[in-house]
C-alpha cells in the first residue's frame, strides 16, 4: 500500500459544473476586472485557487448537523455544543464566537491593544496586520531567516526567531501586550512551526510576563507536520499534538473557514478571564450576543463536526500530499516555489519565472494574471501589492518575496485538476518573455490588494 497512488479519502456525492472558457474570453474578463483576479466573477474561473478560506466542501455529516442548528438568540444549544468541542481540543474555558477570523482579530485587538503597541509574530497575514495597523499598532514579523528564502530546506520554516524576540522584549517590552504566532505560517508558504519552537516562545514570553496568542487557522495541518517531521511525535495522535500546542498558549484566534472545514465562522478562545469582559463588550458591539457572535446555530453545528473531521490523519496525510504532488511537477519544469511545500497551498516564486521583471512592475501580480489568462487558474499574489504600501511621499515599499499562492479548497479538486494546472503553469513559464508587468492605478489605504485597479506596463 505504501507505494501505491494516494487516493482521495472520500467519495463525491454531489458535483458542481465548471464553466470552461477560452483564452480570448479570459483576456476580456481580466481587462474588465482591472487586472485584479479578486474582481473576477467566480463563474469565469476554471480552477479557483484564490484561497482555501471557506471554499471547501462540507461532508454529509456536516450537512446533517446543519439541520440541528438552534437559532435562538441567547443560550442556543449549538453554542454549547461547539464550546464543549473547543474545550476538548484546546483545553481553554472561554469561547467567543465570531463570523470569521478577521472579526476575531478586530474584537480581540480592539479590547487589548492601544495606539503605539507592538506585536511580535512569526509573520502576520494580511488581515491580522491590517487590523493592528488600523489601531496604529506596529506588527513585527520575526520569522527565522530560512522562512524568507524560498529555496531553503528546513522542516519548520514557520518558526519564530527567538533571539530577535528576546531583543524586542528587552528593548520594547512596555509596548508589547502579548506575543502572537501563526500556525501554519501563511505568509511564508504555509510553513509549519515546531512544537519545540512553540514551547520555547511561550516560555520566553512568560519570562517577561507576556501572554501568547496563536492564530490557529490551520492548526490541524501544523499538527500533522509535527507528527511527520518532529522526533518524539511520530506515535502521538493529532488530537494529542493539538492539545499540547494549545497548552502553551493563553488564547487563540481562528478563521474556522480553514481547518474547521466550514464556509463561514471564527472564534476566540481564552485560557483565563483577564480580558474576558472587554472582549465580550467588543463582541456585542460589533458581532452579536455572547452565544452566537456572528454565526448562525447551523454554522456552529457544522463547525463542531468539521473540527473533528479536520483532525483525521488519513485526510491530513492526503491534504499535505496534494501540495507536495504539485510541487514535484513544478520541480521537473524548473519552476521555483517555497520548499518544502506547505500544508494548504503551493507558493510559486515569481522571480524564478520572471527574473528580469523590475520589482516596481509587481512580478507576482503579473504572474497571477498570466496564470488566469493561460489556464483559467485564479491564485493570489503574496508579494509587494499585498504587503507593500504607497507612502505619503509617493514612494513604494516592497516585500522581501514575490510569491503566487495557489491555495487548495478542501475536498474539492481531484488529481486531474492538479495535472491540468501543472501543464498550464508549464506553458506560462515557456512564454514568460511575453508576460507584461503592471502598475497600480487605484488603491485603498488598507488591504489594497482586494480592490486595487491596475493597467499593463
pLDDT in tens, 413-447: 999 999 999 999 999 999 999 999 999 999 988 88
Average pLDDT taken over every residue of the chain? 95
Confidence of residue 126 (pLDDT cuts 50, 70, 90): confident
- What is the model's pLDDT at position 42? 95
- pLDDT at position 405 over 80: yes
The CATH class for the domain spanning 60-309 reads alpha beta
In this model, does residue 387 exceed pLDDT 90? Answer: no
What's the rounded Cα separation, in Å, for the pair 180 and 131? Answer: 14
pLDDT of residue 73: 96
- Specify which residues 138 forms β-bridges with: 118
According to CATH, where is 3.90.1150.10 located in the chain? Answer: 23-52+317-456
**Exposed/middle/buried for residue 398 (C-beta within 10 Å: 0-12, 13-18, 19+):** middle
pLDDT at position 193 over 90? yes
| CA geometry: angle 440, 441, 445, nearest 5 deg | 75
CA 179/CA 141 separation, integer angstroms: 11
The beta strand positions in 136-227, using DSSP E, are 138-141, 179-182, 212-215
pLDDT higher than threshold 60 for residue 401: yes
CA 411 to chain centre: 17
The span from the CA of 16 to the CA of 45, in Å, is 13
**Residue 45 CA, distance from chain mean position:** 21
Q: Which of 121, 126, 116, 184 is nearest to 156 (CA)?
A: 184
In the predicted model, what is the mean pLDDT of residues 254-283?
A: 96
**Angstrom distance (rounded) from CA 347 to CA 361:** 19
CB 50 within 8 A of CB 380: yes
Number of helical H runs and strand E runs in the chain: 16, 16
| Pairing, β 138-141 against β 179-182 | unpaired
Q: Rounded to whole angstroms, how far apart are CA atoms 31 and 385?
A: 18
Give the mean pLDDT of 330-353: 94
pLDDT at 4: 81
Q: State the pLDDT confidence band at 187, using cuts at 50, 70 and 90.
A: confident
Q: Are 127 and 162 in contact (CB under 8 A)?
A: no
pTM: 0.93
Q: What is the pLDDT of residue 288?
A: 95
pLDDT at 263 over 80: yes
Mean pLDDT of 385-394: 83
Least confident of 45-59, 77-91, 100-114, 394-408: 394-408
CA dihedral (333, 337, 341, 346) positive or negative: negative
Confidence of residue 394 (pLDDT cuts 50, 70, 90): confident
- Residue 373 pLDDT level (bands cut at 50, 70, 90): very high
Q: Which three cell numbers, joined as nine digits, stand for 209?
A: 510576563
pLDDT at 2: 61
The CATH topology of domain 23-52+317-456 is 3.90.1150
Alpha-carbon dihedral angle through residues 352, 357, 360, 363, given to the nearest 10 degrees: -40
Task: Please classify residue 302 by burial: count the beta carbons closer than 10 Å to its beta carbon, then call 0-12 exposed, 13-18 middle and 19+ buried.
Answer: buried
Please say whether the dihedral angle defined by the alpha carbons of residues 315, 318, 322 and 327, taken in this order, is positive or negative: positive
- Per-residue confidence band for 393, with pLDDT thresholds at 50, 70 and 90: confident
Q: Would you tell me how many other CB atoms lie within 10 Å of the CB of residue 261? A: 25
The CATH 3.40.640.10 domain(s) of the chain lie at: 60-309
Is residue 1's pLDDT more than 70? no
Amino acid at each position: 500500500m505504501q507505494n501505491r497512488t494516494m487516493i482521495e479519502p472520500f467519495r463525491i456525492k454531489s458535483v458542481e459544473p465548471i464553466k470552461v472558457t477560452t483564452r480570448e474570453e479570459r483576456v476580456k474578463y481580466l481587462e474588465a476586472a482591472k487586472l485584479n483576479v479578486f474582481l473576477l466573477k467566480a463563474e469565469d474561473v476554471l480552477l479557483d485557487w484564490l484561497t482555501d478560506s471557506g471554499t471547501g466542501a462540507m461532508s454529509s455529516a456536516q450537512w446533517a448537523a446543519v439541520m440541528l442548528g438552534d437559532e435562538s438568540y441567547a443560550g442556543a444549544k449549538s453554542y454549547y455544543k461547539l464550546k464543549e468541542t473547543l474545550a476538548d481540543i484546546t483545553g481553554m474555558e472561554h469561547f467567543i464566537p465570531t463570523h470569521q477570523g478577521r472579526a476575531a482579530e478586530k474584537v480581540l485587538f480592539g479590547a487589548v491593544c492601544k495606539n503605539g503597541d507592538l506585536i511580535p509574530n512569526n509573520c502576520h497575514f494580511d488581515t491580522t496586520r491590517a487590523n493592528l495597523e488600523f489601531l496604529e499598532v506596529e506588527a513585527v514579523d520575526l520569522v527565522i531567516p530560512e522562512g524568507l528564502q524560498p529555496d531553503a530546506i528546513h522542516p519548520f520554516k514557520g518558526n519564530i526567531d527567538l533571539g530577535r524576540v528576546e531583543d524586542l522584549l528587552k528593548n520594547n517590552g512596555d509596548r508589547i501586550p502579548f506575543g502572537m504566532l501563526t500556525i501554519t505560517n501563511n505568509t511564508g508558504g504555509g510553513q509549519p512551526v515546531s512544537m519545540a519552537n512553540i514551547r520555547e516562545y511561550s516560555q520566553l514570553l512568560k519570562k517577561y510576563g507576556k501572554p501568547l496568542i496563536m492564530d490557529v487557522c490551520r492548526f490541524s495541518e501544523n499538527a500533522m507536520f509535527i507528527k511527520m517531521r518532529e522526533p518524539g511525535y511520530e506515535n502521538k495522535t493529532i488530537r494529542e499534538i493539538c492539545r499540547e500546542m494549545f497548552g502553551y498558549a493563553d488564547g487563540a484566534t481562528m478563521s474556522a473557514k480553514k481547518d474547521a472545514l466550514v464556509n463561514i465562522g471564527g472564534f476566540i478562545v481564552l485560557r483565563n478571564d483577564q480580558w474576558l469582559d472587554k472582549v465580550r463588550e467588543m463582541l456585542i458591539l460589533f458581532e452579536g450576543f455572547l452565544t452566537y457572535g456572528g454565526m448562525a446555530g447551523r454554522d456552529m453545528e457544522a463547525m463542531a463536526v468539521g473540527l473533528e473531521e479536520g483532525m483525521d490523519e488519513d485526510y491530513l496525510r492526503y491534504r499535505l500530499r496534494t501540495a507536495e504532488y504539485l510541487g514535484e511537477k513544478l520541480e521537473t519544469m524548473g519552476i521555483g516555489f517555497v520548499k518544502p511545500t506547505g500544508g494548504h497551498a503551493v507558493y510559486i516564486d515569481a522571480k524564478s519565472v520572471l527574473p528580469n521583471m523590475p520589482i516596481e512592475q509587481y512580478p507576482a501580480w503579473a504572474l497571477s494574471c498570466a496564470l488566469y489568462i493561460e489556464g483559467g487558474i485564479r491564485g493570489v499574489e503574496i508579494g509587494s501589492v499585498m504587503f507593500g504600501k504607497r507612502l505619503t511621499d509617493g514612494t513604494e515599499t516592497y516585500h522581501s518575496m514575490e510569491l503566487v499562492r495557489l491555495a487548495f479548497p478542501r475536498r474539492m479538486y481531484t488529481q486531474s485538476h492538479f495535472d491540468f494546472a501543472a501543464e498550464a503553469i508549464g506553458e506560462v513559464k515557456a512564454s514568460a518573455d511575453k508576460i507584461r508587468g503592471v502598475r497600480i492605478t487605484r488603491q485603498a489605504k488598507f488591504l489594497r490588494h482586494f480592490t486595487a485597479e491596475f493597467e499593463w506596463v
